[in-house]
Chains A and B, each alone.
Chain A
Amino acid sequence: MNELTHPETLAAEIAAQSRPQAERSEVLVAAGDNGDHGHEEEAGLAPDGDHQQDEDAAHDGQVAHGEGDHMPDHYIMPHEIPNLATWVEVLVKPKNYELHDGHRAHPSSAWFINPIFSISFMLLIVYVLRKTMTRPSVKQPNKLQVAVELLLGGLRDFFLNILGPRGEKFIPYCMALFLFIWINNVGVLIPGLKSPSSRFQLTVGLGLLTFFYVHFNTIKEGGFKNWFMHLVGEPLWLSWLLFPLHVMGELIKPVSLSVRLFGNIFGEDKLLAVFLGLGILIVAVISGDATPPVGIPLHLPFFFLVLLLSTIQAMVFSLLAAIYIALLLPHDHEEEHEREHGHA
C-alpha cells in the first residue's frame, strides 16, 4: 500500500484536484486522500497543507478548523474532536510543526500529552470527589454513600458469580479494571478532554497487565507444574499438537482484549468527530461560508450511545479478564459441587 501512494504523487494529485474551484464532494475525496500516506493527521483542526504557510499556524487557535489570512477554498472533515491538546499544540507550535512537500509533517509531537493529561485530570476529579463529598460513616450513611455501596456491592457480586468463592481475592483487580476503564472511556464527554483508551498504548498496557497478572497468579496458586500441564493439555500423546495451540491461545488473549477496547473507543471518537464535522459542513453549505463559527450539534445524540458503549466495553474487558482468571484457576470438585447445589 505504501509503495502505491507516494507522497509526491499524491500531493500533486490533490493539488491538481483542489486548484480549480472544485465541487465540494470532489474536494472531500481529496481531503480523504490527505491522510492516505501515513502522516496520521492527529489534529482535528488540520489546515490544508497546500495553502498553509508556516506563519499562518499562529492564527489557527481562534477558529475551530484552520483558517489563515486567506480563506481556504474547501472544508476538511476533522479527524478528531478538537480538544485541549490539539488547541495547545496549534497555539504553541512545536518544533516539527513544519511543512515538507507542501504537507504538514506529522503534526502531533504531543500525541501522548492528551491521554496523560486526561487521565490525570479525571483521576484528580475522582480524588476531589472522594475527599470532599464522602464522609463514610457506618451509623449514619448519607444517600451518596448508600448509592456507591449499592453499586460496588452489585459489581462485587457480579464478579463473585464468575470467579467463584475460590477466586475471591481477584475481585479487587477486576473491579479496579472496570472502574478505571469506565472512567477512561467516558473522558470524551468532558469538553476539552479525550478518552485515553482511544489510544493504543493504554489498552495494550491494560491487556499486558491482565496477561501477566493472570499467569503470575496461576503459577502462584497452583504451582509451576500445574500451570505447565494446563498448557500441555489432557491426552499426553497429543501434546505436540496441543501445546503450540494452547500457547498461541494464551498469547492472543491480551491482543484481542486490547484491540477490542481500542477499536470501540477509537470508533466512538471518530463517530463523534464525523458528526461534529457534518454539522459544521451543513452550516457551511447553507451559508456559503467555508468556516462558519458555529455548527449544528449533530453529535449530541451520540453522547448517550457513547455512555452506553463505554459501560458495555468496560464491563466486557473486566468480565473477560475475570473469565480468563477463572479458566486458569486450579479447578477441583468444588465447582461441580456448587453446580449440583445450584440445581437443587
Chain B
Amino acid sequence: MELSQLFLLGYPLGIGLAAIGSGIGIGLAALGATGAMGRQPEVLNKIQLAMIIACAFAEALTIYVFITVFIAQ
C-alpha cells in the first residue's frame, strides 16, 4: 500500500526533475541561438536548424523518462 503510493508520487516527480534538466538545456540552446542570430542575421537559417536539432536532443531526455514511467506503471 505505502510502496505503491510512493511509486505514484515518484513517477510525476521523476518527470518533473527530468523536465527541469531539459528546460535548462533548451533554454541554453535558445540563448546561444538568439545571441548568434543577433550577431549574424545572415546565417539565420543554419543557426535555427542547429538550434532545433539541439532542442530535439535535449527534449528527448524528458521523453525517455516519460516513456519509462509509462512502461514501469
Q: Which residues of A contact B (CB under 8 A)?
A: 1, 4-5, 10, 13, 29, 32-33, 35-36, 38, 161-162, 256, 259-260, 262-264, 266-267, 312, 315-316, 319-320, 323
Contacts and interface: CB of A to CB of B under 8 A. Distances in A.
Contacts of A316: 52-53, 56
A38 B52 CA distance: 35
Contacts of A266: 66-67, 70
Given A259-B64, A262-B67, A36 B4 contact: yes
A264 B63 contact: yes
26 contacts: A1-B7, A4-B3, A4-B4, A13-B4, A29-B8, A33-B4, A33-B8, A36-B73, A38-B73, A162-B49, A256-B60, A259-B63, A259-B64, A259-B67, A260-B56, A260-B60, A262-B67, A263-B66, A263-B67, A266-B66, A266-B70, A267-B66, A312-B52, A315-B52, A319-B53, A323-B53
Given A263-B60, A266-B66, A323-B53, 12 more contacts: A4-B3, A10-B4, A13-B4, A259-B63, A260-B60, A260-B63, A264-B63, A267-B63, A267-B66, A316-B53, A319-B49, A319-B52
A126 to B, nearest CB: 26
Contacts of B72: 1
B44 to A, nearest CB: 13
In the A-B complex, the 8 residue pairs with the smallest Cβ-Cβ separation, listed nearest first, are: A263-B63, A316-B56, A260-B60, A263-B67, A5-B4, A263-B66, A1-B72, A4-B3
A266 to B, nearest CB: 8
A310 to B, nearest CB: 14
Interface residues of B, number: 20
B73 A35 contact: yes
Nearest to A259: B67
Contacts of A161: 45, 49
A26 B60 CA distance: 33
Nearest to A1: B72
Contacts of B56: 260, 312, 316, 320
A34 B68 CA distance: 18
B16 to A, nearest CB: 14
Contacts of A35: 73
Given A259-B64, A267-B63, A13 B1 contact: yes
Contacts of A312: 52, 56
A36 B59 CA distance: 26
A264 B55 CA distance: 13
A312 B3 CA distance: 39
Nearest to B15: A267
A4 B10 CA distance: 15
B46 to A, nearest CB: 8
A58 B59 CA distance: 43
Contacts of B4: 4-5, 10, 13, 33, 36
A267 B60 CA distance: 12
Contacts of A320: 53, 56
